[in-house]
Amino acid sequence: MDPLPARRGAAEPDDDEVGRRFAAGDEQALAWAYERWAGQVHGMAVRAFGPGPDAEDVTQQTFVSAWTGRAGYRPDKGPLPAWLVGVARHKIADTWARRDRQRRETEAAMSEVQAGPSGPVTAGVDTQVADRVLVLDELELLGQPQRGIIELAFFEDLTHAQIAARTGLPLGTVKSHIRRTLERLRTRLEVDGAALHA
């Protein structure tokens, strides 16, 4: 009697088998992939951004994106960890682009505030500029996943359902995070607005 099937059942599959099962949609393969290669992906993200929320987000986004886009992985074209590294590189590039966009938006808003009125500028425009600065400041204070959810909703124009799919969070959780964050932003704007007009 061949004992090999019993041994194979008791032990975890090798990397190639994990890749094949991942491509086939086996959720256990996703767990194995995360266990084996999340450290490598996180290391790449830490080298890009330093330890902290951005590195953690990139790690999570890499595996969520890899899983939702697993139809694009071909086990016969290369090993799964190499493909995951490619996905991570894209997520790192996306995060750098988002950071750069936010920096430029903040600088532009600050320039408008510092320049002051250069002609017949209405109070409404000044208020909008101040509001933009306050919103960008408040986003900097948000923790994850709230900050990422708000950025997906307002910077990338994703629907609640698309955000849930992108982040792997339940739809109800996404909606409640957005609602609570918007309430917090509204309160901050009202408080700061009252201070400005006092």
List of residues 6+ apart from 60 with CB closer than 8 A:
167, 168
Query: How many Å from the N-terminal Cα to the C-terminal Cα in the chain?
Result: 87
- What are the residue ranges of CATH 1.10.10.10 in the chain? 119-198
Task: From the options 3.40.640.10, 3.30.360.10, 1.10.10.10, 3.30.750.24, give the CATH code of 119-198.
Answer: 1.10.10.10
pTM of this structure: 0.52
Q: Which of 71, 81, 63, 196 is nearest to 128 (CA)?
A: 196
The Cα 61–Cα 83 span in angstroms is 14
The structural architecture, per CATH, of the domain 13-115 is Orthogonal Bundle (1.10)
Is 18 a residue whose pLDDT tops 90?
A: yes
Greater model confidence, 88 or 112: 88
Q: Alpha-carbon distance 54 to 45, whole Å?
A: 8
pLDDT band (50, 70, 90) for residue 5: very low
Q: Write the pLDDT tens digit of every residue in 34-50.
A: 999 999 999 999 998 88
Nearest to 85 by CA among 24, 33, 31: 33
Torsion over CA of 173, 142, 34 and 94, rounded to 10 degrees? 110
CATH 1.10.1740.10 residue spans of the chain: 13-115
Mean pLDDT of 61-70: 92
The pLDDT score that the predictor gives to residue 134 is 63
Peptide bond into 145 cis (omega under 30): yes
